[in-house]
Amino acid sequence: MLPSTLIKIREDLNNFNQNAVMADVEKALGEGICPLDIINILSDTMREIGEKFAGLELFLTDLMMAGEAMKAALNIVLPKIDKADIPVKGKVVLGTVKGDIHDIGKNIVGALLTASGFEVVDIGKDVPATKFVEAAETVKADVVGTSALMTTTMPAMKDLVDYFKAKGLREKYRIIVGGGPVTKSYAEEIGADGYGQSAVEAVEVVKNLIERKQ
């Protein structure tokens, strides 16, 4: 059973109440609750909010408020995670595909990857395939992660995979996709190497891909 403070954090985020989320995150840390447990409850709740938005149960403003509350909470939690004993596990280039200006999910994944010991290069939103390749080559990335929040921009993910193939770089990089409308079957259909349903799952997928690559 979840501690009452974690339950309260979930309720706060579902109510898009940034001040309450921040206060209860501080309270949870004061109670000695593991920072990763706090991140997990925030991520799971944010995924549920994203699913409601995709199902037209919430407005974009609701999603944005939830995202801001999530980021504020992560700013409190992440410094509490001791990274001294966590070596850099790999480099990840993150970006939102061409035509999509949403970056909440990407930002959350980036924060969790950083907290988990990965070096993250965030190249922003509405990013063309050419920029993904340039960034991956420049920083010598292990994984390229891309997200889409709209069904209309999902085809850009296939374009991205195809572009890496056309450049003869497909085997050099692992490509992971995610976002509200994206599914595991779609990831497999376009030839991506992995799919994360949630931010926490995306981190695990990246870990596994890099371990297999090594």
CATH superfamily name and code, 91-213: Cobalamin-binding domain (3.40.50.280)
The CA angle 2-71-46, to the nearest 5 degrees, is 50
Q: Are 70 and 63 in contact (CB under 8 A)?
A: no
Residues 6+ apart with CB under 8 A from 11: none
Give the E-state strand segments of 33-173 in sequence order. 91-96, 119-122, 143-147
pLDDT tens string 120-168: 899 999 999 999 999 999 999 999 999 998 899 999 999 999 999 999 9
Residue 66: pLDDT band by 50, 70, 90 thresholds? confident
pLDDT tens-digit readout, 3-61: 899 999 999 999 999 999 999 999 999 999 988 889 888 878 887 887 787 678 988 78
pLDDT of residue 85: 44
Q: Locate the domains of the chain by residue range.
A: 4-80, 91-213
Beta strands in the chain (DSSP E): 91-96, 119-122, 143-147, 174-178, 194-196
Query: Domain spanning 4-80: which superfamily?
Result: Methionine synthase domain (1.10.1240.10)
User: Is-contact 110 118, C-beta < 8 A?
Assistant: no
| Mean pLDDT, all residues of the chain | 88
